[in-house]
């Protein structure tokens, strides 16, 4: 079956019009695109003027400037689109690339010959970005430069979107530069989505969070990834439903940020050096088999704090799991207690807290239901409580 797609060479007049658009942007916007001058030639450009690829297709470098111009939404509905090193793909305003469940995208450049995904208009958010809803092992982006997307999109706003609230997806992303989005750089959705070999990427000057992932994806974030001059200086945890699998959050290049309440029904482990930020509505609730193991080190404490400084900037952590063995060591907790009895609230289970600091709560440092919760005998003396609005430990019956 031939692909349901129309390709044609641009005429001189179309090429001239495109060049006019390329260089008509305001002077102050000229730094948004890093596209080299030699890649802006449109003489050999192919126009992609329809909506579907439904068989295996290869896009090749024409050796001189822009190789492909995408108009509208290009859908890879079946088969694989392979893009070879050196290809430059431009998108018109509101255009985009969508990989559906039966399709796949393989874009592997080299360090000296990367693949470019950019916009005709030198403006953030001018195209929809790359949306991948497929779990194919052929989804690979390596040595690619993706810029100026983040526009209106059914699946979210980012340069690259992996998965949706309904679709799990899989992709390998390495050695890419993801830059100048009007929103997030990379948005990963669905707890079962897989982000593979996620190393040595650069997130540069994106307007929103450089990276937004479900909470169980934090282990995939290698410290080899770099984050430079983004609008948000944190990695967003975007989980919306209950987290039912064990979670390990390791040290990341930026703090991880919880923008909304998260329900945890299994174990959550925080490793030394982890930094967590909570927005004003952020907090964590532990139920069923939920428990927290947060063991830092004297030189690498675990930090839980608000996105903004001051007391009451976030809510709290609440523990309702009867069999939980919660453990806190070398953890620094500050700025919570908003509309809550304490920053850490224990209604069931066991807590062992040692060498921790609870400070600047809008209420108490700890709340413990004494008749139900077991705790270490030195919990009052082997922790530090500073500048909390109410008691160090508020005891419930």
Q: How confident is the model at residue 240 (pLDDT cuts 50, 70, 90)?
A: confident
Q: Which CATH architecture describes the domain 241-397?
A: 3 Solenoid (2.160)
pLDDT tens digits for range 172-215: 999 999 999 999 999 999 888 999 999 999 999 999 999 999 98
Cα–Cα distance, 353 to 187 (Å, whole number): 35
pLDDT tens digits for range 12-27: 344 434 444 443 433 3
pLDDT tens digits for range 134-181: 999 999 999 999 999 999 999 999 999 999 989 999 999 999 999 999
Which of 6-15, 169-178, 282-291 has the weakest average pLDDT? 6-15
Cα–Cα distance, 128 to 236 (Å, whole number): 20
In percent, how much of the chain has pLDDT > 70? 92
Query: Number of C-alpha atoms within 13 angstroms, CB side, residue 333?
Result: 35
Token pair 């069923």 in the structure block, residue: 288
Cα–Cα distance, 36 to 64 (Å, whole number): 11
And the tokens for 154? 């059914």
Strands 384-386 and 357-359, sheet pairing: parallel
Residue 101's nearest CA partner among 152, 57, 136, 137 is 136
Query: Number of C-alpha atoms within 13 angstroms, CB side, residue 164?
Result: 15
Does the pLDDT at position 9 exceed 70? no
- Whole-structure pTM value: 0.88
Cα–Cα distance, 198 to 77 (Å, whole number): 25
386 close to 372: Cβ distance less than 8 angstroms? no
- Buried b / exposed e over 205-215, threshold 16 CB at 10 Å, is bbbbbbbbbbb
What pLDDT does 22 receive? 44
What pLDDT does 50 receive? 67
Whole-Å CA distances, 221 to 226, 257, 264, 311, 371: 10, 14, 20, 30, 41
Average pLDDT for the chain: 90
And the tokens for 212? 């937004």
Average pLDDT over residues 366-392: 97
What pLDDT does 179 receive? 97
pLDDT tens digits for range 78-117: 999 999 999 999 999 999 999 999 999 999 999 999 999 9
Cα–Cα distance, 187 to 153 (Å, whole number): 12
Q: Write the CB contacts of 227 (distance below 8 Å, at least 6 apart in sequence).
A: 203, 210, 211, 233, 253, 254
Q: How confident is the model at residue 31 (pLDDT cuts 50, 70, 90)?
A: low
What pLDDT does 27 receive? 37
150 close to 116: Cβ distance less than 8 angstroms? no
């Amino acid at each position: 079956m031939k692909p349901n797609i129309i390709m044609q060479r641009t005429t001189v007049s179309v090429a001239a019009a495109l060049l006019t658009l390329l260089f008509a942007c305001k002077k102050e916007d000229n730094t948004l695109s890093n596209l080299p001058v030699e890649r802006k030639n449109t003489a050999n450009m192919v126009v992609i003027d329809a909506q579907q690829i439904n068989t295996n297709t290869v896009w090749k470098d024409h050796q001189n400037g822009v190789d492909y111009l995408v108009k509208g939404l290009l859908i890879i509905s079946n088969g694989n689109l392979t893009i070879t090193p050196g290809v430059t793909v431009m998108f018109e305003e509101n255009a985009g690339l969508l990989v559906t469940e039966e399709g796949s995208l393989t874009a592997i450049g080299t360090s000296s010959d990367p693949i470019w995904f950019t916009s005709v208009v030198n403006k953030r958010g001018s195209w929809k970005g790359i949306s991948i809803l497929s779990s194919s092992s052929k989804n690979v982006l390596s040595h690619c430069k993706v810029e100026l997307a983040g526009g209106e999109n059914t699946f979210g706003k980012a340069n690259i979107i992996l998965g949706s609230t309904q679709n799990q997806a899989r992709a390998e992303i390495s050695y890419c530069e993801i830059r100048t989005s009007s929103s997030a750089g990379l948005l990963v959705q669905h707890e079962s989505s897989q982000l593979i070999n996620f190393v040595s990427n650069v997130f540069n000057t994106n307007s929103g969070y450089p990276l937004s992932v479900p909470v169980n994806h934090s282990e995939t974030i290698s410290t080899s990834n770099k984050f430079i001059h983004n609008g948000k200086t944190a990695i967003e945890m975007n989980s919306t439903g209950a987290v039912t699998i064990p979670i390990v959050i390791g040290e990341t290049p930026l703090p991880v940020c919880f923008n909304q309440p998260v329900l945890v029904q299994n174990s959550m482990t925080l490793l030394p050096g982890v930094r967590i930020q909570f927005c004003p509505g952020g907090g964590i609730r532990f139920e069923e088999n939920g428990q927290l193991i947060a063991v830092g080190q004297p030189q690498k404490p675990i930090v839980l704090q608000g996105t903004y400084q001051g007391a009451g900037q976030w809510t709290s952590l609440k523990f309702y799991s009867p069999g939980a063995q919660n453990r806190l060591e070398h953890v620094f907790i500050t700025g919570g207690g908003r509309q809550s009895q304490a920053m850490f609230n224990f209604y069931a289970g066991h807590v062992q807290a040692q060498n921790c600091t609870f400070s600047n709560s809008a209420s108490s440092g700890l709340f413990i239901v004494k008749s139900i919760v077991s705790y270490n005998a030195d919990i009052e003396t082997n922790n530090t409580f500073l500048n909390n609005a109410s008691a160090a430990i508020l005891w419930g019956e």
